[in-house]
Amino acid sequence: KKLTDQKKIKLDYNINNLQPNLEIKITIDQSNNKKITSFLFPVSRTEKIQLTKSRRGQGIFKANVRLVEDHCRVTGVTNIKHLRASHIKPWSVSSKEEKLDGFNGLLLSPHVDHLFDRGFISFKNGGDLLVSKELNPIVLEQWNIEDSTNVGAFKANQGKYLEFHRDVVFQG
């Protein structure tokens, strides 16, 4: 039997004791009769405040990084709309101060941020690009990134964060 409209089912129990009142929305696409399921999680007032603070923190962090960096060191892109403020020492393991410290960040093009964030690339304090053995060299070739690149020396205050990245994140 074809369903022609949306149906909502409210579940009034916890899933893994994590989320009460999970709402599941099931939509049937009439053009191909495929079922699309969406899970909607209600957000409490406290969660909204935490999310807002997190987004504000990201804005503050990016502004702080812009005081230290003005372009992607790998691609040369300068337009801030096309750059991400990437934590050198990951946000998840940084102290409150480190999370907002502009020296703990780089402005990176999204594809470079992807490689850096996942530890496929890192940098020496003097600016030499380090490339993980885990990264297929074809990726760098396709993105026109030279594996022998020197992106320029980093500031002394960035050194401790880069050392952490090399020791913990980088897949050497």
Among the ranges given (1-5, 25-29, 58-62, 106-110), the one the predictor scored with the smallest mean pLDDT: 1-5
Report the 10 Å Cβ neighbour count for 78.
11
What share of the chain in percent tops pLDDT 90? 59
User: What pLDDT shows up at residue 17?
Assistant: 43
User: What pLDDT shows up at residue 11?
Assistant: 37
Mean pLDDT value of segment 139-159: 95
Secondary structure (3-state) at 62: helix
User: What pLDDT shows up at residue 60?
Assistant: 86
Identify which of 110, 109, 88, 84 has the alpha carbon closest to the alpha carbon of residue 166: 88
pLDDT > 70? residue 40 = no
Mean pLDDT value of segment 139-146: 95
More confident residue, 11 or 105: 105
Distances (CA, A) of 78 to 75, 95, 104, 145: 9, 29, 19, 17
Q: If you average pLDDT over every residue of the chain, what do you get?
A: 80
Identify which of 98, 101, 167, 159 has the alpha carbon closest to the alpha carbon of residue 127: 159
Mean pLDDT value of segment 147-153: 94
Q: Report the C-alpha gap between 163 and 122 in whole angstroms.
A: 9
Q: What angle do CA 84, 89, 90 make, to 5 degrees?
A: 70
pTM metric for this prediction: 0.68
pLDDT 10s digits, 41-71: 555 666 555 545 555 556 788 999 999 999 9
Q: Report the C-alpha gap between 46 and 80 in whole angstroms.
A: 31
Q: Report the C-alpha gap between 57 and 59 in whole angstroms.
A: 5
Mean pLDDT value of segment 127-143: 96
pLDDT > 50? residue 141 = yes
